[in-house]
Each structure stands twice: as structure tokens, then as C-alpha cells.
Structure 1
Amino acid sequence: MTTTYAALLRGINVSGHKRIPMAGLRELLSGLGHGDVVTYLQSGNAVFTSAATDEDALAEGVRHAIEERFGFTVDVLVRDAAYLRAIADDCPFPAAALEAKQLHVTYFSRPVGPERLAALDPAAYLPEEFRLGDRALYLYAPHGLGRSKLAEALARPALFRGTVATSRNWNTVVKLVELTGG
């Protein structure tokens, strides 16, 4: 029996750095024995099937293969279709009523407790808001991510030290659910 997963690569193909062609990523994943490999956009989203059940081991395998093939390290998260569907379904914001640029999900490698965010005063960033989910953070930025003061505050390395984090806009969140059959 196989499971469908999405691999979320952090920080590739940004401003010409850490370039990974999507054809190369598909070849790499197929070479690792994964099936039904599809990539989405140039920003590090791949869907594949595998008989393996350990998401962390799958992520480590992809990370190691990228380092060997492309010569640099990339953080990788792997999540199954059911998890991706649950993240979309559990969105605390009215996703259907918002533009995709207004809503983002940051996926974490492990659970993040509210104590990590206790120093942030949510009222200081209104109308921007965030909510924690299952190894995820939902960010509502009504004027877009590029102008978001809250996104800037949440990007401070100390907040999530020791945790891999990678963000996707709502269009990508929904597309990954669709591609994984979640």
C-alpha cells in the first residue's frame, strides 16, 4: 500500500539561489523509488507516492539526495495527504472569502506551542492576525505578505529556533490538497 505525500522544500529558486530545476527534482524523487511524482510551481513543492510511512525519514532522504546531487542543503518537510487536507479544513480564517495573497500557512517540523509567540502583542499588528494549528501557523495579512509587519515579526529566527518552517500561500495550500488527493 502506498501513501501520497507532498515534499515542501524551503528557500529554493529564490533570487537565483539554491536553484533546483523541477525536472531535476522529479528525477531525484523518482530515483529514490517514489512514484507518481509531480511538481508544482518552481518554489519547491512536489507530490509523490511511497510505501514508506515515516515522514521525517522521507524528508531526510530527500534532503540528503538534494545535497548529494545539487551540492547544497535544503530544509525539507514531508506531509501526507490527510494532514494537508486537515490543515486546509481547519483554517480559522474565512479562506473562501479572502484573496490567496492574504492567507498563508507556515508548516513546522514539530509542534509549536503558544509560549514561543507570547512576546508578540497581537493587538499591535491588527488587522493582521495569526493562529496556531497542528504543526502549522495560519497568517492573515490583508495587505499581502510583502507589506506585513506581523510576517516580519514571525520571521525572526529566535521564535522558531530548532524547528524547520516553510510557508505557502493559500493557493498553494489548496493545490497541494488537490494534487495529493487529500
Structure 2
Amino acid sequence: MTQYVAFLRAVNVGGTGKLPMAELRAMCESAGFIHVRTYIASGNVVFESRLAAASVKRTLEASLEAYAGKPVGVLIRTGAELAAVLQANPFKSAAPNRTVAIFLDAQPPADALAKASGRQGEDMALGTREIYVHYGEGMAHSKLKIPAASAGTARNMNTVATLVEWTTAPAD
């Protein structure tokens, strides 16, 4: 069994994409995933499956589309991959609630940071399949736009750290 974390894109953010976490857990369990747990209402779910990551993604996206009536993006990481994301955070000394990993399906293009616009002092760095951003003044007033991140979804380092703990702790 592989421990996975799924990050749903645009769920329960700004009044759009309403999805109760109980429904998400039920979808995952119906798909055959086990030890399913959700974390906060923004679409983070930890579970185990025998399926490969690509199959997990397809299965969950199909269930979510059937539920929502429209596609819902899903980004998948194994527990080990998520631990590597946390370890590779280039802004470890910065406030974890002001530092995010934007999860992507593929490696970000080499010019992803150069093509960003609206930068106002944010620090950015490329990861393996992530873009890290430290919002020194917070995200609320940031004008930063990263075209390479348009199909991704961001989670702050507090959330990433909690999910890493969940993937390394024995299942209930």
C-alpha cells in the first residue's frame, strides 16, 4: 500500500466549489482507498491505495466530476514525495503561514519565475513539481501572478508539515 496525499484545486475557496469533507472521504472510500482522512476544508485528503499515482488521480478526478458536474483538479503526492517537498523548502527560516508550495503535475518550466508578474517583494523558487513562494507581507495584498502555476494549487508550509506528519504516523 502506498500512502498518498491528494490536493484538490479550487475547493471551498472564496465561496466556490463547495465540497463537504465528509463527501470527499466517502468518495475516497467508495474508490477503495483506505485509512482516509481529510485535513481542513480546503480539499486535502490522506489515504492509502494499491493503485499507482496516475490511477489514483484519474479515479478521484472522475468521482469529483460526477459529484460536482464539472472537472475538479487533483494533485497527487506520495507521503515520501510530500516529505521531500517540505525538506526542500528554500524558505525554512520564513513564517510557514506565509510560505507556500504550489503543487503542479509536472516540473515547472525553467522560465516560470521570469514570466511571473506583479512581484512586490515575494521570494520564489522552483522545486521538483512545485513552485515555492514566500509572501513576506502576506498573500492578502499580493499581485503576484505565475502563469506556470495556473493549473496548480497552493498549500502553506503549516498544512504541508501537518500532512507529512499524517503520512508518517501509523494509520488508525
Mapped pair 1:60 → 2:58:
yes
Alpha-carbon deviation of 1:120? Answer: 4.2
Select which of 125, 131, 139 maps to 1:131: 125
SS in 1 for 2:37: strand
SS in 2 for 1:125: coil
Question: Percent same amino acid among aligned pairs?
Answer: 32
Give the superposed CA RMSD.
2.0
Mapped pair 1:36 → 2:24:
no
Deviations 1:97-140 (A, max 9, x none): 43222211101011112223333489x633x2100010001101
Please give the residue correspondences for 1:9-28 in structure 2 after superposition, counting only pairs within 5 Å: 9-28=8-27
Select which of 152, 155, 162 maps to 1:165: 152
Alpha-carbon deviation of 1:44? Answer: 0.3
Q: Any stretches of 5+ residues in structure 1 without a counterpart?
A: none
**Does the 8 A contact of 1:131 with 1:139 survive in 2?**
yes
TM-score, normalised to structure 2, is 0.90
Distance 2:131 2:115 in 1: 16
| Aligned position for 1:77 | 75
Q: Which has the higher helix share?
A: 1
| Aligned position for 1:146 | 140
> Which contiguous aligned blocks of 4+ residues in structure 1 show a shift greater than 4 angstroms?
none
**Does the 8 A contact of 1:18 with 1:72 survive in 2?**
no
TM-score, normalised to structure 1, is 0.85
Letter in 1 for 2:100: H
Q: Any stretches of 5+ residues in structure 2 without a counterpart?
A: none
Distance 1:75 1:146 in 2: 23
Distance 1:153 1:84 in 2: 24
| Aligned position for 1:105 | 101
| Aligned position for 1:177 | 164
Mapped pair 1:90 → 2:78:
no
